Amino acid sequence: MWKFDGQNTFFNIYNDKVLDVQGGRDQEGNNVQVWNRNRSKAQQWKLIYVDKAEKPKNKGFDKDFGLERNRPFYIVSKLTMERVVECWGANNLIISDLVQGRQG
Amino acid sequence: MFKNEKGTILQVAHHLDHESYPIGHNVKDGLFSEFDVVYADEMEAEPKKGDFNDHFGMHIERPFFVVSALSSERYLDILGRNMVIKTPNGRTSQQWYFDQKSRTIKSMYRKNWSWDIAGSGKSNNMHAWNTNSKWW
């Protein structure tokens, strides 16, 4: 059974261990575990009710990534021929002449 | 204390405060043999959906995200059955709610899954498992 302390910690009421990001590694898909309290950031959480959460934006400029959301773009080389970046096969990117509508 | 004519006392078996533990009887008394009688018409009503449960610190059946304080502010999510941190994606696997009936934190993705310490509480790993009333 788990309790939220109203600030930033979820803890098990029987063993008093807390919810913790394994190894404090802030990586996509990293495991979450129970651990003894150590007051690190890995054990601190925000509880945000869905009805109060900001809705994810799917339009407009994303400051974190420096790009417009959901707006297709070309990547054009600054070399003389100003070729564009294109997928080649499953795993490669190449530069090639622009043929509008073809580049993937 | 409830005592019969032979002097045996009603008590919680093995003196363990665990959900679904049996009630037995013995001649020894202690905290494990103390009970309150609360008449049904005076019993405090169970809190309802939307109410705040003071003891657990969460609103009842009100979905929430759990956001890590690490710098990327990833959300608690489910990968297979494992609990992990992931970039917010709006999926129900990142939404949780407090269930008053089971006193567990359940997943909006699978409403019969709750937070659970793997290995019946012996491991450190957290996963989402079929809801039960065990301490882990």
Question: What string of DSSP letters covers A27-84?
Answer: -TT-BEEEE-----GGG-EEEEEGGGSPPPP-SSEETTTTEETT-----B--STT--E
pLDDT, tens digit, for every residue of B73-88? 999 999 999 999 999 9
Residue A102 reports pLDDT greater than 70: no
pLDDT in tens, A39-95: 999 999 999 999 999 876 777 888 778 888 888 888 888 887 788 888 888 788 888
Look-up of token digits 């995200």:
B65
**Cβ A30–B85 below 8 Å, yes or no?**
yes
Provide the shortest C-alpha distance from residue B46 to chain A (in Å).
18
Domain regions of chain B by residue span: 9-38, 52-130
Query: Which A positions 35-74 lie with beta carbon below 8 A of chain B?
Result: 35, 41-42, 44-51, 53, 56
Distance between the two ends of chain B, CA-based, in angstroms? 30
Q: Residue type for B133, please?
A: S
Residue B71's pLDDT is: 93
Interface test with B, best of A13, A25, A31 (most B CBs within 10 A): A31
A28 in reach of chain B (CB within 8 A): yes
pTM: 0.75
Residues of A in contact with B135 (CB under 8 A): 1, 12-15
Chain A contact for B74, CB < 8 A?
yes
d(CA B26, CA A64): 67
Domain B52-130 grouped into CATH 2.80.10.50: yes
